[in-house]
Amino acid sequence: MDQTKADKFKRAIIDRATAMGMDVQQKGSCSPGIKALAQMYGIVLSNPNMLQAFESDLMVHDLGLLASPDAPEQFVWTIRPSGTNLFYRDADGPREFRRHMDLETGSLAFTFDGDKLEPVTDVECAAEFLRERKAA
């Protein structure tokens, strides 16, 4: 993703957070989805060989979902040169994630626990993360 598109994505995150009544300067005031999006922005910037095509996966689809009231609080996110994917804690999530990682070998994956995106080093551990029930 080029810098102009990355800057547009950052602006869209800030605008959506502000519209939702969040203070992007005050840590802890943003929703989990906005926190995830801000971290995704950093990953996009630090991995310039990723997301060379289908930037709308991130800039439209991921942004639209994660900046909505229906945003999942925990998920696995993948990024590759040709797009992004979100995998959820549901019956199909672990299987779909493993299948994706088998097919898209150039993907980077990250778990999001409601606060931080963490790099996936073991696909089976990430699949287990998707099987776990959200802590009460």
Give the model confidence (pLDDT) of 28-71 as tens digits.
667 888 889 989 999 998 998 898 888 888 888 999 899 888 88
> Residue range 4-30: average pLDDT?
79
Work out whether the CA dihedral 68, 120, 2, 30 comes out positive or negative: positive
* pLDDT above 90 coverage of the chain, percent: 51
70 falls within a domain? yes
Q: What integer pLDDT is reported at residue 4 of this predicted model?
A: 85
Q: Counting Cβ atoms within 10 Å, is residue 100 exposed (0-12), middle (13-18) or buried (19+)?
A: middle
| 101: in domain | yes
**How many domains in the chain?**
1
The answer to the question of residue 33 being in a domain is yes
Instruction: Answer yes or no: is 42 within a domain.
Output: yes
Residue 136 pLDDT greater than 80, yes or no: no
Q: Is residue 78 part of a domain?
A: yes
**Contact predicate 44/78, CB 8 Å:** no
| Percentage helix, strand, coil for the chain under 3-state DSSP, each rounded to 5 | 45, 15, 40
Q: Identify whether 30 is part of a domain.
A: yes
The pLDDT of 65-89, averaged and rounded, is 92
Q: Which two tokens stand for residue 1?
A: 């993703």
pLDDT at 6 over 90: no
- Cβ(65)–Cβ(58) below 8 Å: no
Domain limits for position 89: 3-131
Task: Among 5-9, 84-88, 107-111, 122-126, name the one with the lowest average pLDDT.
Answer: 5-9
**Residue at 136 is within a domain:** no
Residue 16 lies in a domain: yes
Mean pLDDT of the chain: 88
